[in-house]
Amino acid sequence: MPILGPNQYGKAENRVVRITRHGATHHIKDLNVSVSLSGDMDEVHYSGSNANVLPTDTTKNTVYAFAKQYGIESAEQFGIHLARHFVTSQQPIRTARIRIEEYAWERIEHSGEGAHSFVRRGQETRLAQITYDGSAWEVVSGLKDLTVMNSTDSEFSGYVKDRYTTLPEAYDRILATDVSGRWRFNWTDDGHPTPDWDHSYEQVKRHMLEAFAQTYSLSLQQTLYQMGSRVIDHRDEIDEVRFSLPNKHHFLVDLEPFGLKNDNEVYVAADRPYGLIEATVLRDGCEAKIPADLTNL
């Protein structure tokens, strides 16, 4: 006899833009919010009874109403407000998971009156996932599509070779990747101060970038570990960091047929296939909880 397994439902990708006006100076928060709810939902699957179902349209409306009621201090704090509301206001709902992408804007400086012109900032997308089951919180922040490159201070040599190996050893190569990373906070709501989510995000990103820039890399794996270690060492509020780093290969172009010497100056950028390096860096004594597949987070 078939039985129902884990299930959830909600409204995905609610785009909400919140403008906060301080006189002529405006501030923008631009979010993509996905709500997923689970709990006592067996009957809607077995018999079609909607008695325990909060409509997904209601969850959408709640996102917009809360943007007005609470404002959007940060993606994490907004997600906490939403998750707490769904679990505490609806008895059949046992767990709420809120996933948020944030798109950053920076002010365009100009000589006119006011400060209300903006341009999309940076390439990366900020991420947050908040999960609440009525007693325990899990807050995971992150980013994706942060493209970085070192034009030197990178090698790849001494690796295993077999009959199919054709890759030459490289002692001065380009190292480039699109950083996709998530980090899990050790914050719980039992009397512990709430982290400054925005400041924490900026500091984690800074430590990642500094580690990438300052590591003489013998492998992308080594660089990944240094990036995660620096975050764990410098940010006490974080217990786990997980990265997915595609190796954006750059190969030296053979210019000898043209009578030219290529002294590590001209490369071809290959977008596929690519090496994919993934790993988790943990605070000693902590358990890994971030899924290996970051696309499912």
Catalytic residues, by residue number, are 11, 56, 249
CA nearest to 63, candidates 104, 106, 29: 29
Distance (Å, whole) CA 126 – CA 182: 10
Burial call 127-156: b when 16+ CB within 10 Å, e when fewer: bbbbbbbeeebbbbbbbbebebebeeebbb
CA nearest to 11, candidates 103, 96, 69: 96
Q: Is the peptide bond before 273 cis (omega within 30 degrees of 0)?
A: yes
> Where are the alpha helices (H) located in 133-292, listed in sequence order?
197-214, 220-234
Q: Read off the amino acid at residue 83.
A: A
